[in-house]
Amino acid sequence: MPTEAATLRHGVAVLALSCLAAPVAAAELTVQVTLPALNTASYYRPYLAAWVEKDADRASVGTLAVWYDMKLRDNLGRGWLRNLRTWWRGDGARLALPIDGVSGATRPAGTHTLHFAAGHPLLAGLPAGRYQLAVEVAREQGNRELVRVPFDWGGGPNAARVDGSNELERVSVSVAP
């Protein structure tokens, strides 16, 4: 017959393991994307996709944001999203755009902040662990660029930043409880 101490240890172990597997409920994710001011003859605002990946295998968890020209006639703006090749092959081709709360218009050069509260559909069921935010941009008569920013979800506050090389100046991610 197990002792009271053994039963208590077993109960604590079960509780600890269930906390590790349970989704984190009270964290918020803030993303800052800085698009550089480029001195070119004809500048078009870039299309952008931002999504969360599992850190170990880069499997997509889901899309957080897609910026594109939603006002082009005959939904032509959606067709240009194929230039975001990595995102398109993972999530983009099967999504029915526009998606409320995900789709948005292209943005000009400068820093843009995206805030995702704990109740966001993608984050609400996200288990604690190591992830990365992938941000890909493509611009007509320009280049394509993809950066990945690692972050920990459910392990307390943390922040990371990655500098881009041409179409992205900087992408920052911060997690707050």
Q: pTM score, two decimals?
A: 0.83
Task: Report yes or no on 148 lying in a domain.
Answer: yes
Confidence bin at 157 (pLDDT 50/70/90): very high
* 137/77: higher pLDDT: 137
Structural domain tally of the chain? 1
In-domain check, residue 55: yes
- Radius of gyration (Cα) for the chain, nearest Å? 20
Backbone angles phi and psi of 8, in degrees to 5: -65, -45
DSSP designation for 40: -
Q: Is residue 73 part of a domain?
A: yes
pLDDT digits 0-9 by tens, 36-82: 999 888 888 999 999 999 988 999 999 999 999 987 766 777 888 99
Residue 105 belongs to a domain: yes
pLDDT of residue 122: 93
Q: Average of pLDDT values for 26-34?
A: 92
Q: Report if residue 59 sits inside a domain.
A: yes
Domain that holds residue 168: 24-176
Q: What pLDDT does 132 receive?
A: 97
pLDDT for 46 equals 95
> Is 8 among the domain residues?
no
Q: What is the pLDDT of residue 56?
A: 85
At 86-131, the pLDDT tens digits run: 999 999 999 998 888 899 999 999 999 999 998 999 999 899 999 9
> Is a pLDDT exceeding 80 seen at residue 18?
no
Question: What pLDDT sits at residue 23?
Answer: 46
- The DSSP annotation for 96-151 comes to -S--TTTEE----SEEEEEEE-TTSHHHHTPBSEEEEEEEEEE-TTS-EEEEEEEE
Residue 2 lies in a domain: no
Q: Give a yes or no: residue 43 inside a domain.
A: yes
